[in-house]
Amino acid sequence: MGARQLHFNLFLLDTGHHEASWRLPGSDPHANLSLAAHQHLARVAEEAKFDSLFLADSPALFGSPERRPSGRIEPTVLLSALAVSTQHIGLIATASTSYNEPFNLARRLASVDHISGGRAGWNIVTTAGDAAARNFGLEGQPLHKTRYERASEFLDVATRLWDSWADDAIVADKDTGVHAVGDRIRPISHVGPHFSVEGPLNLPRSPQGHPLLVQAGSSDDGKEFAARWAEAIFTAQPTLAESQAFYADIKRRVVAAGRNPDHVLVLPGIVPVLGDTEAEARELEAELDRLIAPEYAVAQLAQLLQVDPARLQLDEQLPADIATEDEIEGAKSRYTLVVDWARRDRLTVRELIGRLGGGRGHRTFTGTAVQVADTIQHYFENGAADGFNIMPAVLPSGLEAFTSSVVPILQERGLFRTEYTGVTLRDHYGLPRPANRLDPEAAEVAS
């Protein structure tokens, strides 16, 4: 067993995570719809030996198309194209348990795992917001608790569908004419509060057994769900202390759920803004912040906080009487993060939208490559992270700067791989291939 090493996931978002990145002179405002742009970013991350990349998604229009690129190619479609454009890097798609059915989604994700040779992952979301609900015949979003109850049953069904074929079901014996052993392919016969699914899946068990399971919710319901199901967690905490508290809490919950805490990786988001000098990095950050359109940012903040935009005055702090987390049914953990941040640092609305414009609540770090590497190492070695969800403020330049300057420093320190040593996404993350739950003869296969 070698020394513990960092894990890096690249969070792809059109021209970058800063709201104004598309307005920079060198940005391609059509990158969100360009396969070539995504292929370039995937290859840059793979050359740097990143574990994985991931695509965010929502079953509703993302943001405001009047103010920034908002179109999204469906993730499993895009990742299928990236699977044949890359050889090693993991490919993680976001998909909602609230607005999909287990059979169809299990099939799509297993298909990506087959196509990629075992590099697929699923970022599981329950999807807050009325806009998505109205696209699926509902008047408003289901209750937060209901969304997580459905998600838990969804995962139970999906994983059983992935296990409905034994690993040795296909024998392809030309002499006997037997292609698959019938009794090694089983229905799941599930009937529950949300789903009725007979099975089996119409696709054999995939190279990883099932795609890597990733989760990003940080509410109590989200953390309990993660403790039961997640194998990697994308999270947002703006300070070291909050990251340490979240890390300890998740690992404790995982143990309480009867799972190995080393098999659940915590990857906080970090938005690196890099320069050859700290002053140069600050100048880039200031230029980006100047390009934020305040009226759009206020509207986005008002939607998150579920208040009338007219109540948010740019040069005043948040109203004292906004709702508590328990009183909303939207994205609870992100709501609390933003409100607590604004209250703790006594931020005006203008200051808050400036911070959120860079990373939507994730840790933004502006400085030199050495300073960013030092910060990453400090989090990693002090109980705050198993790795990071890298969220460049500007793409592709921010990723290229990170891979060419920060990654080599961490490699020299022995904290990050210099070559891939495995084949699958689970290999990269150091996670076992799951045993087939429907096959009593199967055993968990360690990486």
**Cα 253 from Cα 228, distance rounded (Å):** 8
CA angle 356, 361, 364 (to 5 degrees): 80
Q: Which residues are paired to 364 by β-bridges?
A: 271
**Cα 227 from Cα 233, distance rounded (Å):** 10
Amino acid identity at 294: P
**Cα 264 from Cα 26, distance rounded (Å):** 38
Q: 9 to each of 33, 135, 387, 440, how far by Cα in Å?
A: 21, 30, 8, 34
Mark the binding-site residues for FMN, compressed into ranges.
57, 94, 144, 148, 218-219
Q: 367 to each of 360, 375, 388, 390, how far by Cα in Å?
A: 19, 10, 17, 15
Element containing residue 172 per DSSP (H, E): strand 170-173
- In 3-state terms, what secondary structure has residue 187? coil
**Cα 226 from Cα 222, distance rounded (Å):** 6
**Cα 274 from Cα 280, distance rounded (Å):** 8
The HSE-up count of residue 404 (CA atoms within 13 Å, CB side) is 10
Mark the binding-site residues, compressed into ranges.
57, 94, 144, 148, 218-219
CB 414 within 8 A of CB 34: no
Amino acid identity at 190: H
Looking up tokens 């990158």 gives 31
CA angle 222, 442, 423 (to 5 degrees): 70
